[in-house]
């Protein structure tokens, strides 16, 4: 078992690396509710196909099913990280911009839980900008 300093970074990089290797799944990702909420957003906006939670020997894991890569230029997601465990990146709703001209999503942690940046801008919420995926 390895210790990961930035579990959200680890999750998103695992997904990107699996897409780059043309894999159809990412298995045995350690479980957390925060990761499940991020995966809900990725599924809702079409970056992954599905995910399921498995329990083995009293430990929970997440198995992620990815979309098939047809065109690597368009299908492999780009990820830009903002917040890190040592340096949170807070933004006001006034400073939120479109991600890749509206083709991607930004993930922001607000006082109303995780949401895409365009929804936070509509609700006039500020929070910690986790990453942008496009």
Residue 100, domain extent? 78-134
Same domain assignment for residues 65 and 46: yes
Same domain assignment for residues 98 and 65: no
Q: Which residue has the higher pLDDT, 74 or 77?
A: 77
Q: 3-state DSSP call for residue 95? A: helix
Same domain assignment for residues 114 and 57: no
Structural contact between residues 52 and 63, judged by C-beta atoms closer than 8 angstroms: yes
Average predicted confidence (pLDDT) for the chain: 92
Name the domain boundary from 56, 76, 96: 76
The predicted model scores a pTM of 0.89
Structural contact between residues 76 and 111, judged by C-beta atoms closer than 8 angstroms: no
Name the domain boundary from 58, 76, 94: 76
Q: How far is CA 80 from CA 9, 13, 53, 123, in A?
A: 10, 10, 26, 23
Q: Assign residue 57 the CATH number of its domain.
A: 3.30.1370.30
* Listed residue (84, 86, 125) closest to 108, CA to CA: 125
Residue 101: pLDDT over 50: yes
Residues near 3 by beta carbon (within 8 Å), at least 6 away in sequence? none
pLDDT score at 75: 83
Same domain assignment for residues 44 and 98: no
Structural contact between residues 106 and 128, judged by C-beta atoms closer than 8 angstroms: no
What is the tens place of the pLDDT at every residue in 83-96? 988 899 999 999 99
Angle (CA) 66 37 128, round 5° = 115
pLDDT score at 69: 85
pLDDT score at 1: 46
Write down how long the chain is.
134
Same domain assignment for residues 3 and 44: yes
What's the structural domain count of the chain?
2
Same domain assignment for residues 90 and 66: no
CA atoms within a 13 Å half-sphere pointing along the CA-CB vector of 44: 11
Q: Assign residue 98 the CATH number of its domain.
A: 3.30.1490.10
Q: With bands split at pLDDT 50, 70 and 90, how would you rate the model's confidence at 102?
A: confident
Same domain assignment for residues 2 and 65: yes
**What is the C-alpha separation between 119 and 43, in angstroms, rounded?**
16
Residue 52: pLDDT over 90: yes
Same domain assignment for residues 58 and 85: no
């Amino acid at each position: 078992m390895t210790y990961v300093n930035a579990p959200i970074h680890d999750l998103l990089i695992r997904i990107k690396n699996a897409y780059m290797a043309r894999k159809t799944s990412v298995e045995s990702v350690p479980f957390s509710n925060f990761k499940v909420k991020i995966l809900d957003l990725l599924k809702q906006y079409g970056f992954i196909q599905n995910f399921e939670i498995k329990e083995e020997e009293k430990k929970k894991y997440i198995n992620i099913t990815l979309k098939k890569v047809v065109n690597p230029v368009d299908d492999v997601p780009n990820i830009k990280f903002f917040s890190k465990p040592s340096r949170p990146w807070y933004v006001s709703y006034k400073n939120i911009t479109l991600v890749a001209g509206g083709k991607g999503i930004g993930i922001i942690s607000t006082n109303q839980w995780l949401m895409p940046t365009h929804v936070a801008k509509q609700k006039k919420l500020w929070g910690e900008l986790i990453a942008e995926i496009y």
